[in-house]
Amino acid sequence: MSSILLLTTSPRPGSFSTQIAIELAERLQAANPAGALVHRDLTANPLPHMDGGFTTGIHKPAEGLNAAEAAALRLSDELVAEILAADTLVIGTAFINFNITSNLKSWIDYIGRVGKTFRYTASGPEGLAKGKKAYIVLASGGIYSEGPAASLDHATPYLKSVLTFIGITDVEVIRVEGVNRGADGAANAVTAARAQIARIAA
């Protein structure tokens, strides 16, 4: 049975990234209705930012954890279990100040666990979340896939680097870009994104 993990992260009402990410996840599930769809809405249920409880707890044995450390590691373990159980990831994020949303960064901080999602070997780091497909749905007011502003897109290379580091190398980006270029710009961006997810779902 396949499993889809859907992450939505945009704080914007009527978010284009959330809308398209949900549509993609639902179309993928419709193609395999026996599979599970787990939706973690990081806007409605934001994760706490990484703190001392987490950074100290990951270096202690279970019996040595205090209450704050144990709670932080339980949350991390839950998030890690979700990603390891999934065959497909759909990550929706707004483009905020040239990068991802802060709540998505918090999720990354919790799932980047040595011995869980990656390990160190004699030949270097090895990702442990292999064999998965990831889709990044990135919505932006301007055009960053090409042209003079392309160098300002730090979100796409960062997310690809993180996913590759934990073993997910099959990554496809669905851009919903130019949404601030008037009503036609937003409509055209959504139409292009929907055409891409239709090809994916087919």
Supply the DSSP string of 39-63, one letter for each residue.
Answer: EEETTTSPPPPP-HHHHHHTTS-GG
**Interval 88-116 mean pLDDT:** 97
**Interval 123-148 mean pLDDT:** 97
What residue ranges in 33-169 does DSSP mark as E strands? 36-41, 88-94, 118-121, 124-127, 133-140
Integer Cα distance of 16 and 193 in angstroms: 10
- Model pTM? 0.95
Residue 1 has pLDDT above 60, yes or no: no
Token pair for 38? 């787990």
What residue ranges in the chain does DSSP mark as E strands? 3-8, 36-41, 88-94, 118-121, 124-127, 133-140, 170-177
pLDDT in tens, 137-167: 999 999 999 999 999 999 999 999 999 999 9
